Amino acid sequence: MKKSISAVLSVMMTLIIVTAGALVVPTPVKAADITFTGKVDSKTTAETLYLSTSGGTVEIKIDSSTDTSEAKFLFSGTKVTVNCTRGSDEYWHATSIKGDPKAKKADVDSSKTSTVKGKIAKGTTEQIIFLKTNDGTMEIKVDSETDFSNVKCILLGREVTIECARGSDAYLHAISVSDVSTTVSRGSVDTSKYGTGVVGTVSNDTTSNVLHLKTSAGKMEFVIDTNTDGSDGRALIPGQKVSVYFYRGNDAWNHTTKIVNESTSKSATVSLDERSKFTVKGKVRDDTNENTLFLGTKEGKMEIRLDSNTQFPNYPFILKDKKVEVTCECGSDGYNHAISVVPDWEW
């Protein structure tokens, strides 16, 4: 009897020790994927989905690898289901986004198509796109066969190109919807040397260190450093259209390699009268461009030409409202031409 009790106690002690060990020593668990269902919040962009769920608002990154084939329309209030995985940056990253099925397609004569470009306008839904073009607002139906493979997502104000054809219901139907490419294709720029290029307009919050660029795909930021070639794009004035070439740095920032002004080009080089040399100080005005520096001085507004001979020591880019000192000479074209532009720390 004593041996039987002893055996039972021995087994119980063994179970207790094993159980305690399991509690003390954690077992590695692989982070599981998760699925969220909710409605798109108005803060959503092409890069980040803000999803309003029963548990609150979830911030989810949209990557180039995210499958959005079943949910291109990310308007505020749209109900979607998002499969996510946790990234190394601790954010949720969408692996796929799914919405409601599209409406059935009418008979469409795809042998006669036309292509239009414009911006997604108010009133657009998953069944119909209102496209604001230079000729007015167009109404284009979306079908189950509409190809969205070349557009990241549909957002109000986003610029897209739509190939469309007339349907049996008398409506225009979208054959395909594509993002308007921001990729640069200038033959004069060696992309193997300068890297990827995008086109956009300079934003008002641009500084001497960071270029803020408005593109059709959204706002982008680029670091400006000593390696940036500004020989074809000195005037970083708000509203100026520029091509920006860049590479992704180890610090996770886009670093600018070259800037090309697409709005204006340098002034023609002319012969100068050295005897007319003078220096003037003033503040860069917002109507300055790649061709002409408009300077606000104590005496009034001055117009000074910028050409390929203009030097920019210690001042590689011209920024709005910055104080500068300009050395000029009168050109054979009757205009004052800048010999050099440098920062003015005392004016």
pLDDT at 341: 96
- CATH architecture under which domain 108-179 falls: Beta Barrel (2.40)
CATH topology for the 272-343 domain = OB fold (Dihydrolipoamide Acetyltransferase, E2P) (2.40.50)
CATH code of the region 34-98: 2.40.50.320
Distance of alpha carbon 195 from alpha carbon 204, whole angstroms: 25
**Which superfamily, per CATH, for 191-261?**
Nucleic acid-binding proteins (2.40.50.140)
pLDDT tens, per residue, the chain with 347 residues: 444 555 545 556 555 554 544 444 443 334 458 999 999 998 888 888 999 998 899 999 998 888 888 888 887 888 899 999 988 888 899 999 988 665 455 688 877 888 888 889 999 988 899 999 888 899 999 988 888 888 878 888 888 889 988 888 888 999 999 887 544 444 345 556 676 788 889 999 999 999 999 987 788 999 999 889 999 999 999 999 999 988 888 888 889 999 999 888 899 999 999 999 999 999 999 999 999 999 999 999 999 999 999 999 888 999 999 999 999 999 999 999 999 999 987 65
> For the chain, how big is the Rg over CA atoms in Å?
30
Beta bridge partners of 39: 52, 79
- CATH 2.40.50.320 occupies which residues in the chain? 34-98, 108-179, 272-343
Which residues face 297 on adjacent strands? 300
28 DSSP 8-state letter = P
Rounded Cα gap, residues 199 and 262, in angstroms: 9
Q: Which residues pair with 317 in a beta bridge?
A: none
Distance (Å, whole) CA 225 – CA 227: 5
Rounded Cα gap, residues 215 and 217, in angstroms: 5
Range(s) for CATH 2.40.50.140 in the chain? 191-261
Range 52-55, long-range pairs (CB < 8 A, 24+ positions): none
Task: Return the bridge partners of 137, or none.
Answer: 132
